[in-house]
Structure 1
Amino acid sequence: MAFGPDVPPIQAHICVKDGLAAIAFYAKALGAVNTFHAMAEDGKRVMHANLAIYGGEVMLHDEFPEFGGSVLSPNTIGGTGVAISINLAKPADVDAAYDKAVAAGASTVLEPQDTFWHARYARIQDPFGHVWAFNAPVANP
């Protein structure tokens, strides 16, 4: 919910092409729960959606070039300069989240691996151009 009692201090707000397809993908790939969405007057585009994902919230909307086009999807602009990080409890959670996302249609950016910052880490790119990172602490050697 946009202004409920548990609004996080920072939220990701992403732009996609085909918001309804994105909501369905995020449900399958990330276990997202659509807690709210409103359609545009055209009945085809998502004006606003709230998705609960791994205990956080991501807001989502379709492109609306008729409103100035200042926010466009990564697929329209040819990439993204942002990765959305999902912090998980255990290294095995990273592998499971990565496997689930790839099985749902995400592409691999970085396969799960242990890193120099003592984390299990992986990155995927969803079909809408957004990059997601999975991160969990590993024992400090």
Structure 2
Amino acid sequence: MKIPEQYRNTVIPHIMVDGAADAIAFYTAAFGASELFRLDGDAGRIVHAEISVCGATLMLGDADAPFATPDRSRPSVALHVYVPDVDGLTARAVDAGAELLSPPADMPYGARQSMLRDPFGHIWILLTPTTA
């Protein structure tokens, strides 16, 4: 079996939320995400969906055991994504309802970076390379 290109050489984040349809709408408004796939379940729940954020694939679905939506006080994972314009996308995400944890700043490792918490408790680190 050939592994699809978007899944090769990567660990694919698969996040669980309470309200996956709302999360997809938020990620579309905040990050310009495009929905790639959706498998609907009962009562409007999403069993599995995939979206693209600046070319990066993210899987998500409504949280069912053994999964839960993250603990907003201490999430254990951050989602890093390289974007063309960290300043513009950070502003867009905040306008859509993300909480700004650290504004865009040039980092010593050659990237401009910001950190946000989405309304579902996930931490996003947006980066734009500043060196060639």
Question: What percent of counterpart residues are identical?
Answer: 33
Question: How far 1:126 moved relative to its partner?
Answer: 0.3
Larger deviation, residues 99-108 vs 7-16? 7-16
Who is 2:70 aligned against? 74
CA contact under 8 A between 1:8 and 1:56: conserved in structure 2?
A: no
Q: Deviations over 1:81-132 (max 9, x none)?
A: 111111134xxx1101101100100001111111122221101010000011
Letter in 1 for 2:28: A
Q: How do 1:30-69 residues align onto structure 2 when only pairs under 5 Å count?
A: 30-40=31-41, 42-64=42-64, 69=65
Who is 1:8 aligned against? 7
CA contact under 8 A between 1:83 and 1:132: conserved in structure 2?
A: yes
2:125 is aligned, of 122, 133, 138, to: 133
Question: How far 1:4 moved relative to its partner?
Answer: 7.3
SS at match of 1:81: coil
Question: TM-score scaled to structure 2, two decimals?
Answer: 0.88
User: What 5-or-longer segments of structure 1 have no aligned partner?
Assistant: none
User: What 5-or-longer segments of structure 2 have no aligned partner?
Assistant: none
Aligned-pair Cα RMSD in Å: 1.9
**Is residue 94 of structure 1 aligned with residue 86 of structure 2?**
yes
Larger deviation, residues 122-131 vs 80-89? 80-89
Who is 2:109 aligned against? 117
- Does the C-alpha gap of structure 1 residues 70 and 78 become closer, same or farther in structure 2, counting only changes over 3 Å? farther
CA radius of gyration, larger in: 1
Letter in 2 for 1:73: T
**Is residue 19 of structure 1 aligned with residue 14 of structure 2?**
no
Q: How far apart in 2 are the matches of 1:20 and 1:110? A: 27
Question: TM-score scaled to structure 1, two decimals?
Answer: 0.83
Aligned residues between the structures: 129
- The 4+ residue runs of structure 1 with deviation greater than 3 A are none
SS at match of 1:43: helix
Question: How far 1:56 moved relative to its partner?
Answer: 1.2
